[in-house]
């Protein structure tokens, strides 16, 4: 496997590692952008108004659907109607499944993030004369951001994992090496594909963890530069909102209301 990975030809050849990596990222990013564009505003609205919670329940129930089955079902349904060139016939069903898959965690994260904003904070914003839309944008969203990110991160993992399985249909991406290696009994290639997918998933999670660190306000995350820690964290807005987790873990506290997101692929 190491030998296979060390062969520069396997990286730069057409359809090689670099090509498939680019394809994999492309499928994943398209799906995530669409899912965020749909789930984030809807989630903010549900959280802000408290109406439409059933949407979250429906989205969560969808998680019981087997992703592979959905993928193959959509492919079989759509394939006769798609006459585009190249990958379109595989890409469209895959993107639909990836978006469907990415919506529930982002939606659930956003809704519970907004709902977990302390009522006093919301009242204070209203008392300062903010309008509903201002409260959402300037108070609720920033405060909900840690949970939004946690939803986005689990959505990203699932999308990257499922994009791998889409190679079974015939789509590109790093899953190609896994399925092609398996089919041709080239186990070095298959295992290398598996390792590359795992590395990609870990790297993507790291990037999002960094993005989270730089976008979440310090007043919310409780992260303060050294020296000011005790004084700042004891302040009214500091450590309070974070709970006892402090800086130890990046994710939100696990409660019965916000169970961790499952793997689906």
Partner 1 sequence: MRLLAVDSSPFGMFDYFRQHQDEVLNWLGYHAWLSAVPVVVGLLVALPLGWLAHRYRWAYPPLVTAAGLLYTIPSIALFVSIPSIIGTQILDPINVAVALTVYTVALLVRVVADGLGAVSADVAQAATAMGLTRRQRLLKVELPLAVPVIAAGVRVAVVANVSLVAVAGTIGVPNLGQLFTTGFQLSVGSPYYPPITLGIVLCVLLALAFDLFVVGATWLATPWRRAVSGS
Binding site for partner 1 (CB under 8 A): 63-70, 72-73, 75-77, 79-80, 157, 160-161, 164-165, 168-169, 175, 178-179, 182, 187, 190-191, 193-195, 197-198, 201-202, 205, 244, 248-249, 251, 253-256, 259-265
**3-state SS track over 192-250:** HHHHHHHHHHHHHHHHHHHHHHHHCCHHHHCCCCCCCHHHHHCCCCCHHHHHHHCCCCC
CB of residue 187 to partner 1, shortest distance in Å: 8
Instruction: Give whichever of 190 and 242 is closer to partner 1, judged by the CB atom.
Output: 190
Instruction: Give whichever of 44 and 156 is closer to partner 1, judged by the CB atom.
Output: 156
CB of residue 179 to partner 1, shortest distance in Å: 8
CB of residue 263 to partner 1, shortest distance in Å: 5
Q: What share of the chain is helix, strand, coil (3-state, %, to 5)?
A: 75, 0, 25
**3-state SS track over 92-129:** HHHHHHHHHHHHHHHHHHHHHHHHCCCHHHHHHHHHCC
CB of residue 101 to partner 1, shortest distance in Å: 10
Instruction: Give whichever of 62 and 232 is closer to partner 1, judged by the CB atom.
Output: 62
Measured CA to CA in angstroms, residue 127 lies from 119, 130, 239 at distances of: 12, 7, 23
Instruction: Give whichever of 52 and 66 is closer to partner 1, judged by the CB atom.
Output: 66
Determine the longest span between alpha carbons in the chain, in angstroms: 68
- Pick the closest to residue 71 from 250, 264, 226 (CA basis): 264
Instruction: Give whichever of 1 and 45 is closer to partner 1, judged by the CB atom.
Output: 1
Instruction: Give whichever of 132 and 170 is closer to partner 1, judged by the CB atom.
Output: 170
**CA-CA distance, 17 to 191, in Å (whole number)?**
13
| Residues 243, 168 contacting (CB under 8 angstroms) | no
CB of residue 170 to partner 1, shortest distance in Å: 10
CB of residue 180 to partner 1, shortest distance in Å: 12
């Amino acid at each position: 496997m190491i030998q296979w990975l060390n062969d520069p030809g396997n990286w730069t050849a057409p359809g090689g590692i670099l090509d498939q990596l680019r394809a994999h990222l492309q499928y994943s990013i398209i799906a995530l952008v669409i899912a965020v564009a749909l789930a984030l505003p809807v989630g903010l609205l549900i959280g802000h108004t408290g109406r439409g919670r059933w949407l979250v329940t429906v989205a969560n129930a969808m998680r019981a659907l087997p992703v592979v089955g959905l993928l193959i079902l959509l492919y079989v349904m759509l394939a006769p109607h798609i006459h585009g060139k190249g990958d379109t016939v595989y890409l469209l069903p895959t993107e639909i499944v990836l978006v469907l898959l990415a919506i529930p965690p982002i939606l659930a994260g956003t809704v519970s993030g907004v709902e977990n904003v302390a009522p006093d904070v919301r009242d204070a914003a209203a008392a300062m004369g903010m309008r509903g839309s201002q409260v959402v944008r300037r108070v609720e969203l920033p405060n909900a951001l840690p949970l939004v990110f946690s939803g986005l991160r689990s959505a990203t993992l699932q999308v990257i994992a499922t994009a791998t399985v889409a190679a079974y249909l015939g789509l590109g991406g790093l899953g190609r090496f896994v399925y092609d290696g398996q089919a041709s009994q080239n186990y070095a290639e298959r295992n290398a594909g598996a390792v590359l997918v795992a590395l990609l998933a870990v790297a993507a999670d790291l990037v999002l963890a960094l993005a989270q660190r730089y976008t979440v306000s310090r007043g919310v995350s409780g992260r303060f530069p050294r020296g000011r820690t005790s004084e700042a964290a004891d302040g009214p807005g500091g450590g309070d909102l974070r709970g006892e987790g402090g800086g130890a873990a990046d994710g939100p506290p696990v409660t019965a209301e916000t169970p961790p997101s499952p793997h689906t692929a």
